[in-house]
Chains A and B, each alone.
Chain A
Amino acid sequence: MMRTPEAIYKYLRPDKKFPHVWCPGCGIGIVMGALVRAIENTELTKDEIVLVSGIGCSGRISTYLDFNTLHTTHGRALTFATGIKLANPELTVITVMGDGDATAIGGNHLIHACRRNIDINAIIINNNIYGMTGGQYSPTTPMESKASTAQYGSIEKPFDICKLVEACGATFVARGTTFHAKMLDAMMLRALNHKGFSVVEAMAQCPVQYGRRNKLGTPMDMMQWFKDNSVSSPAFDKIPPDELDEQFPVGVLVNKEEKEYIDRYRDIVKKAGGDVP
């Protein structure tokens, strides 16, 4: 497998200058590394890939990579992606969204993209916070965690993104973390090869807006927490509920075959008497 920097050089925009915008120790860079390693392991050319991102620190990924890239409006990446994929099903469409992007302002689009099972790959970078706007609480901020708009701790029950998208009909769902960087690219590769709507939740540290406010230590400490609390999904299912504390399952959580949206639309075209290419 190609190493990260080599893959990055290959897919990096030649006219974009590194170092990138993310803070020291930010997990988004690690997720982007995993994404390019996954893409490197497909047969896809740069021209065949459309990378659509929302707005946020995570959304900045689209600026750096040498694909057809689209930096949309906050929360709406999947809507633009849906238009692109329908208009040209030959393209591989990857969306990168933050936790706020995907599950707060864009929550409606997320659930409906799942329901349609349209062949789009969604990568949700979950750092449990609104990083870009300065650390406000997001739908995945844990209860009692502090945020710039939750000065006394959050009182809202967080989403479990993987459970949410599974319930809405996503046919491939996986969760990884920045600690499991190499597992993350293996999951992304499987997601890319999956036909239907796929979601990879990448748990990533935001040491600056989330970690510091909640005294979670260094970026490495935050990754160590991912390591210590993640349990591979089959093993997770065996943990008795009363022994569950902060653990969460990682790995491929859902992988099923179901007819994809564009295939179903092709049936409609046939019914209407149109020519399916």
Chain B
Amino acid sequence: MDTEDLDPIHIFSSWCKQCGICTTICPKKVLEIGPDGYPYAARPEDCVLCGMCDAHCPDYAITLKAKHEVKEEGEHE
């Protein structure tokens, strides 16, 4: 993975309601709650673009941006 791609996660804090779902659901523990109460990508390099965070954000505040195809992982059963 190209290092330029390594901040794939954008969080619009104006839509975020600080529910904490994304930080818990991320299988790679990429996201953390920052001092302002909003999540941010603490370890973007660990992101596997699984799409768990953006599909589970109830407020559509997370956009995954990547130049390459985002993987369709995290399908269940």
CA distance A19 to B25 in the complex (A): 21
Q: Which of A6, A182, A220, A232 contacts B55 (CB 8 A)?
A: A182
Contact B60–A18 (Cβ < 8 Å): yes
B52 to chain A, nearest CB (A): 8
Contact B19–A5 (Cβ < 8 Å): no
**Residues on the A chain within 8 Å of B54, using CB:** 3-5
CA distance A180 to B63 in the complex (A): 19
Determine chain B's interface SS by DSSP, over half rule. Answer: loop
Asked if B70 CB lies within 8 Å of chain A CBs, one says yes
**Size class of the B contact interface (CB-based, 8 Å):** 20 to 34
Contact B76–A182 (Cβ < 8 Å): yes
Which residues of A, 205-259, contact B by the 8 Å Cβ criterion? 207, 218-220, 223, 232, 250-251
Contact A182 to B58, CB < 8 A, known contacts A3-B64, A19-B14, A219-B19: no
Contact A3 to B58, CB < 8 A, known contacts A19-B15, A19-B17, A220-B24: no
**Residues on the B chain within 8 Å of A232, using CB:** 77
Contact A219 to B21, CB < 8 A, known contacts A3-B64, A18-B60, A19-B59: yes
Asked if A114 CB lies within 8 Å of chain B CBs, one says no
Which residues of B, 3-59, contact A by the 8 Å Cβ criterion? 14-15, 17-21, 24-25, 51, 54-59
A211 to chain B, nearest CB (A): 11
Which residue of the partner chain B has the closest CB to A251?
Answer: B77
**Residues on the A chain within 8 Å of B51, using CB:** 3, 182
Asked if B2 CB lies within 8 Å of chain A CBs, one says no
Number of A-B contacts (CB under 8 A): 88
Contact B74–A4 (Cβ < 8 Å): no
Q: Identify which of A27-35, A66-74, A146-154, A265-273 touches chain B.
A: A27-35
Q: Which of A3, A24, A26 contacts B63 (CB 8 A)?
A: A3
Asked if A261 CB lies within 8 Å of chain B CBs, one says no
Contact B24–A30 (Cβ < 8 Å): no
CA distance A183 to B64 in the complex (A): 19
Which residue of the partner chain A has the closest CB to B17?
Answer: A24
**Residues on the B chain within 8 Å of A29, using CB:** 57-60
CA distance A207 to B66 in the complex (A): 32
Which residue of the partner chain A has the closest CB to B14?
Answer: A19
CA distance A18 to B14 in the complex (A): 9
Contact B58–A8 (Cβ < 8 Å): no
Asked if A142 CB lies within 8 Å of chain B CBs, one says no
Contact B76–A33 (Cβ < 8 Å): no
| 14 A-B residue pairings within 8 Å (CB atoms) | A3-B54, A5-B61, A24-B17, A25-B19, A25-B58, A28-B58, A30-B57, A180-B77, A181-B56, A182-B74, A183-B77, A218-B19, A218-B24, A251-B77
